[in-house]
A and B are shown apart, each in its own frame.
Chain A
Amino acid sequence: GESVGLHLPTLSVQEGDNSIINCAYSNSASDYFIWYKQESGKGPQFIIDIRSNMDKRQGQRVTVLLNKTVKHLSLQIAATQPGDSAVYFCAEGVAHKLSFGAGTTVTVRA
């Protein structure tokens, strides 16, 4: 079946640097993409989403980029902070049904 995946299972980043988390998706029919952050023992927390008719969307310290040509999604976090340490998931699909990737664990070094 279709799958969503992240390029790297782990990412270590220096505090204050920018982070880039990548995600590849395979379902060209997907029209909605979303990033979640999950801290240990908690449920995923919504970060930012983007529709297929857009290629970039910005939030507070975060930017999501969508490249439909190569089916690639990325999350950029500016000025990474210790509180950004978590597992990050991308998901794709139509809004009522999402497919999730396996996640990237981000560790922020002091």
Chain B
Amino acid sequence: DGGITQSPKYLFRKEGQNVTLSCEQNLNHDAMYWYRQDPGQGLRLIYYSQIVNDFQKGDIAEGYSVSREKKESFPLTVTSAQKNPTAFYLCASRPTISNQPQHFGDGTRLSIL
């Protein structure tokens, strides 16, 4: 099946550790996105990439980093500089031709030990 796979589903981080969240898509989409969702709130954009080897900061990029070495992969690293990393992280992708909706994975829930 074509889709977006996020792993792991649950992740725990110790204070001072960096952790990397995986996002893989086999939809042949050019653009990929990372969002953060906190309880009772909408999605906030962390980073996005419209093409391989290029990415832009979203609204809340501080404490996060990404890479886009392959079209199908867009991993997100939550660094120790992110002081409040506990949240639900969502990855999305879309084709870049015309107005097409973003399609989402099922998220990774990150918690601090």
Contacts and interface: CB of A to CB of B under 8 A. Distances in A.
Interface of A: 4, 9, 31-32, 34, 36, 41-46, 49, 51, 89, 91, 95-98, 100-103
A49 B106 contact: no
Chain A at the B interface: mostly helix, strand, loop or mixed?
Answer: strand
A46 B103 CA distance: 7
Contact of B50 (A41, A96, A101, A102): A96
A97 B106 CA distance: 20
The interface centre, meaning the residue of B6, B90, B92, B104 with most chain A CB atoms within 10 A of its CB, is B104
Contacts of A98: 45, 102
A41 B104 CA distance: 12
Interface string B22-43: 0000000001000100001111
B70 to A, nearest CB: 20
| Interface band, chain B | 20 to 34
B48 A96 contact: yes
A98 B102 CA distance: 9
A51 B107 contact: no
Given A43-B90, A44-B90, A102 B102 contact: no
A97 B45 contact: yes
A89 B43 contact: yes
11 contacts: A9-B40, A31-B99, A34-B101, A43-B105, A44-B90, A46-B103, A96-B48, A98-B45, A98-B102, A100-B35, A100-B43
A95 B100 contact: yes
Given A43-B92, A97-B58, 11 more contacts: A31-B99, A34-B102, A41-B106, A43-B90, A43-B106, A95-B100, A96-B96, A100-B35, A100-B42, A102-B42, A103-B41
